[in-house]
Amino acid sequence: MADSLNIQELEQVVVRFSGDSGDGMQLAGNIFSTVSATVGNSISTFPDYPADIRAPQGSLTGVSGFQVHIGAGKVYTPGDQCDVLVAMNAAAFKTQLRYAKPNATIIIDTDSFTQKDLDKAEFKTADYIAEMGVDPDRVIACPLTTMVKDALADSGMDVKSVLKCRNMFALGLVCWLFSRDLDVAFNFLREKFAKKPAIAEANIKVIQAGYDYGHNTHSSAMNVYRIESKTKVPGRYMDITGNKATAYGFIAAAEKAGLQLYLGSYPITPATDVLHELSKHKSLGVKTVQCEDEISGAASAVGASFAGALAVTSTSGPGICLKSEAMNLAVIMELPLVVLDVQRGGPATGLPTKSEQTDLLQVLFGRNGESPMPVMAALSPTDCFDAAYEASKMALEHMTPVVLLTDAFIANGSGAFKLPKLEEYPAINPPYVPEELRGQWTPYMRDAETGSRYWAVPGREGFEHILGGLEKDNKTGAISTNPENHDLMTRLRAEKVARIPVPNLEVEGDADDADLLIVGFGSTYGHLHAAMDELRAAGKKVALAQFKYLNPLPANTAEVLMKYKKVVVAEQNMGQLAAYLRMKVDHFVPAQFNQVKGQPFVVSELVNAFSQLLNQ
């Protein structure tokens, strides 16, 4: 009865699970988001890993977090600050509190706040709750480890295995707090541990224990929340990270095009999961080569493309530096190639596990010679699928390397992914050289409409040819240093890319009469959208135009950018998109919002900054 008295309806809630890197916070978070998504809530997740390889247990640098945002309506970001913080130890409590709202509920395991733990976390007093300035009424302080041990006392499991279930107790408690149906969690675990039913049942027992503990002990003191779904899109869903969605997009595109998928890659954070994911799917015929270096990753992909594969190379910013020469080889040989750049903090090694949008100008311009290359940027974890599919289609149909930008934020973050139906995706038709050209074909003959040269894959008799990094004669395909020919070829390559059709830039919000147009690209879509929503809810006239296609730019770019009195370009770099748009659009002088902190934007900070602009 206490439950029903205290149930509060919420629009949205943010939960952050935090603990040692080995505490299984990501699994707890994943199950919670799945359980929520099953009832039709919108979800967005984001893991925050430490950069340390293996920080000492219980230390401040070893804390990792996993944030889950669930909403009745659509959620666009993993949320700025959390409503519930789970802190599995003293270090997590200390470092993660800053991600919690002032009135957040905090769940802690008091068994992990011994003097030794407090010392490791550099607490000065024994009253750590007061030391952090937290209202004790907001804290669910429970001897979590003890209760897990009790729950599994008869299981016959060793201590280490028992302790691995601590995350499930926290999960059970959170599920109680948000009136979640445990059956979904149970099914999830039974499937995940299908081969180890004993582990599954132990985890299930602990979740139930956590749930019961909440129900029995705190029902009278704490509110229980319910988040009803309002914008249900019926269908079948899975939780997917951006990197996995990207890998799936390549697989889907290769299947649609009827081509082998080849990935040449070298391990690099935060792109490596794409290599991992694609390496699993040999039953789909995917070939992955873990190369000796970044250069070989790109170069071998060029070779694979020549031999007739959908060729991909995946990396992050430092890898792009090394791949640029091979990317340029694909430019001049006019071979299809997808270059995935999962951006991270730079320069040099920079912030390997953190997120930035600082490679834009590098991928647009960072190569020798006139080197036109299409560039796209995915908008969200789930959009990575469509973006990877589109980048592959673009590369194959226009015989060009294409750069796909994602970043650590959307690569590691996840969202509810409505299972795509491949038959609903557009066909992919590479311009294979027509049979009737046998005997008269030369490598740089072009399709009149697209300006793309034709593709002759080795094995076809009568189309033997030599490509290369040296400039070629437009007509014969032989090496040429003729000045007019080089000028012509340079223009033809540029024209081919310029002709690639991309959708118009969409304006969301107050498209007709906005006082401020927010402009961004790629992964900041969610945060910028959330900021726009807040401003509009406060009665402001605001619109958003988010670029997904950076080269070529949408045809209506200038029209959109010049339509509004005030425009702000917000990006996670020092103004690369703003500089690029100013170069492309005459008289365009935007305001700028730039942050390079390695962390996602904070919606409240965006709202403040944009409000100031509106008031100026």
- Residue ranges in 243-302 that form contacts with another protein under rule CB under 8 A: 248, 251-252, 255, 260, 262, 264, 281-285, 287, 289, 291-293, 295-296, 299-302
Contact call for residues 302 and 276 (beta carbons, < 8 A): no
Encoding tokens for residue 129?
């709750």
Residue 361 or 457 having the CB closest to another protein: 457
Residue 113 or 389 having the CB closest to another protein: 389
Instruction: Check the CA dihedral 498-500-501-507 and report its sign.
Output: negative
Residue-by-residue DSSP string for 424-461: GSPP----BPPGGGTTT--TT-B-TTT-PBPB--TT-T
> Minimum Å distance from CB 103 to another protein?
31
- Judged by CB under 8 A, the chain residues 67 through 106 that form the site for another protein are none
Residue whose entry in the numeric block shows the structure tokens 């310029």: 498
Q: How many CB atoms lie within 10 A of CB 607?
A: 20
Residue 74 or 138 having the CB closest to another protein: 74
* CA distances to 300, 307, 327, 388 from 312, in Å: 9, 13, 11, 10
**Phi/psi of residue 612, nearest 5 degrees:** -60, -40
> What CA–CA distance (Å, rounded) separates 333 from 479?
12
Residue 435 or 495 having the CB closest to another protein: 435
- Judged by CB under 8 A, the chain residues 216 through 235 that form the site for another protein are 229, 232-235
* Nearest alpha carbon to residue 97 among 133, 147, 151, 148: 133
- Judged by CB under 8 A, the chain residues 302 through 341 that form the site for another protein are 302-309, 311, 325-326, 328-329, 333
Residue 239 or 571 having the CB closest to another protein: 239
Residue 466 or 537 having the CB closest to another protein: 466
- Judged by CB under 8 A, the chain residues 14 through 33 that form the site for another protein are none
> Minimum Å distance from CB 50 to another protein?
27
> Minimum Å distance from CB 310 to another protein?
10
| The binder of another protein chosen from 113, 186, 213, 237 (CB under 8 A) | 237
Q: Does 186 bind another protein (CB under 8 A)?
A: no
Site string for another protein, 36-65 (x = CB under 8 A): -xx-x-------------------------
> What CA–CA distance (Å, rounded) separates 12 from 118?
33
Residue 297 or 345 having the CB closest to another protein: 297
> What CA–CA distance (Å, rounded) separates 440 from 577?
44
Q: Which span (11-19, 35-43, 122-130, 506-514) binds another protein, by CB under 8 A? A: 35-43
- Judged by CB under 8 A, the chain residues 353 through 382 that form the site for another protein are none
Angle at 615 between CA 610 and CA 616, to 5 degrees: 100
> Minimum Å distance from CB 187 to another protein?
8
Residue 381 or 600 having the CB closest to another protein: 381
**Phi/psi of residue 601, nearest 5 degrees:** -55, 155
Residue 35 or 90 having the CB closest to another protein: 35
Residue 25 or 240 having the CB closest to another protein: 240
Contact call for residues 265 and 288 (beta carbons, < 8 A): yes
| The binder of another protein chosen from 55, 60, 184, 609 (CB under 8 A) | 184
Encoding tokens for residue 293?
């270096």
Site string for another protein, 450-489 (x = CB under 8 A): --------xxxxxxxxxxxxx-------xx----------
Residue 321 or 579 having the CB closest to another protein: 321
- Judged by CB under 8 A, the chain residues 409 through 448 that form the site for another protein are 419-422
Helix (H/G/I), strand (E/B), else coil: 369: coil
Site string for another protein, 533-572 (x = CB under 8 A): ----------------------------------------
Does the N-terminal peptide bond of residue 590 adopt cis geometry, omega within 30 degrees of 0? Answer: no
Angle at 460 between CA 454 and CA 465, to 5 degrees: 60
> Minimum Å distance from CB 466 to another protein?
5
Encoding tokens for residue 550?
């950076």
* Nearest alpha carbon to residue 384 among 522, 269, 273: 522
> Minimum Å distance from CB 438 to another protein?
11
DSSP letter, residue 216:
I
Residue 244 or 344 having the CB closest to another protein: 244
> Minimum Å distance from CB 204 to another protein?
15
DSSP letter, residue 351:
B
> What CA–CA distance (Å, rounded) separates 376 from 548?
6
> Minimum Å distance from CB 38 to another protein?
4
* CA distances to 243, 408, 604 from 269, in Å: 11, 8, 29
Residue 194 or 537 having the CB closest to another protein: 194
Site string for another protein, 190-219 (x = CB under 8 A): -xx---------------------------
Residue 291 or 387 having the CB closest to another protein: 291
* Nearest alpha carbon to residue 387 among 275, 503, 465, 468: 503
Helix (H/G/I), strand (E/B), else coil: 591: strand
> Minimum Å distance from CB 344 to another protein?
24
> Minimum Å distance from CB 162 to another protein?
25
**Size of the residue set binding another protein (CB under 8 A):** 73
* CA distances to 153, 200, 444, 446, 503 from 257, in Å: 56, 41, 22, 20, 21
> What CA–CA distance (Å, rounded) separates 352 from 314?
15
> Minimum Å distance from CB 416 to another protein?
8
> Minimum Å distance from CB 78 to another protein?
20
> Minimum Å distance from CB 383 to another protein?
17
Encoding tokens for residue 543?
């619109």
Beta bridge partners of 417: 238
Residue 238 or 437 having the CB closest to another protein: 238
> Minimum Å distance from CB 364 to another protein?
21
Residue-by-residue DSSP string for 13-59: EEEEEEEETTS-HHHHHHHHHHHHHHTT-EEEEEEE--SSSSPPTT-
Beta bridge partners of 53: none
> Minimum Å distance from CB 447 to another protein?
21
> What CA–CA distance (Å, rounded) separates 522 from 571?
9
